[in-house]
Amino acid sequence: MNYKLTIQSFLISILFVVMASCENDVEKPLVITTSDISFELPNDAVVGDTLGIVPGTSNRGSVGFVLVSQSVNDVFSVSTTTGDLILKNLTNVDAEINPEIVLEVSINKEGESEISNVTVIIESQNPDPGPSGCNDPNALVNTDIWNGDLDLQDIFGDTAEGVGVSGCDNLTINADLLIIGCEKIPEVLFTFEPTAPGETSGTVTAEMQDYDCIEGFDIQFEGTGTYDETTGIIEIEYSWTDGSGDPPIEGFVTVEPN
């Protein structure tokens, strides 16, 4: 057997394997994959919350993440190993000034990198509770004016006191609006409607409802009138029945804050 020839053949085979392996490495360059992405910052977010993960992979295993820039300073941080987008600071967050924050995140591997543009949409941190404190930004009337102690007076000069509870374009008046000496304090719900959007005056309406005033009497109350946020005066023309079948009794009362 020609051992010399056999050894040469073996060495040549190894050389071909090494060359093929090198060729495979050349044919597979590093590829880093990422994409642009958006997240939302909810108004109940707290420092330390993770909003999501910045996308980033490579064909050669794990990648690193570097926060390059953010349009509002020092709000977010990015985990260098996982790409987690983390809320770092709320001090500079103001949805009215900056409704969104844009970040650039570099995804890197072996000296190569790609950029992911990240947009964070900011929900209002202090949502407008609406003029009535009812958490409805569409509320039109500031009924908080009549929230609390109220003074009532009828056309004869008789007076009474009550308490108002404001709502969204409505007001519940806990008082003897009829000023007839109720045994119990009735609750009457009034709805408010401005004469036009943005106006501080308009109409009030109380649909027909129970007027729980005197035990054993089925009193029904309804009324309409006007309100003025500037003066704080509500004027109500009302009618009521006691269930006896007699014609309704009409009256007038003014309501204003104490």
**Higher per-residue confidence, 24 vs 229:** 229
Torsions phi, psi for 22 (to 5 deg): -65, -40
Residue 178, burial from CB neighbour count under 10 angstroms (0-12, 13-18, 19+): buried
- Is the pLDDT at 19 greater than 70, yes or no? no
**pLDDT confidence tier of residue 4, bands split at 50, 70 and 90:** low
What pLDDT score was predicted for residue 183?
87
**Which H helix or E strand runs over 203?**
strand 201-210
Q: From CA 62, how far away is CA 79, in angstroms rounded?
A: 13
What pLDDT score was predicted for residue 25?
47
Find how far residue 2's CA is from the centre of its chain. 87
Domain spanning 32-122, CATH architecture: Sandwich (2.60)
**pLDDT confidence tier of residue 52, bands split at 50, 70 and 90:** very high
Instruction: Say whether pTM exceeds 0.85.
Output: no
What pLDDT score was predicted for residue 153?
97
Domain residue ranges of the chain, discontinuous segments joined by +: 32-122, 143-257
- Is the pLDDT at 94 greater than 90, yes or no? no
What pLDDT score was predicted for residue 101?
97
Q: How many residues does the chain have?
A: 258
**Higher per-residue confidence, 62 vs 127:** 62
- Is the pLDDT at 11 greater than 60, yes or no? no
pLDDT above 90 coverage of the chain, percent: 71
What pLDDT score was predicted for residue 224?
98
Q: From CA 161, how far away is CA 201, in angstroms rounded?
A: 23
CATH annotation of 143-257: 2.40.128.30
**pLDDT confidence tier of residue 197, bands split at 50, 70 and 90:** confident
What pLDDT score was predicted for residue 45?
87
Contacts of 27 (CB under 8 A, 6+ apart): none
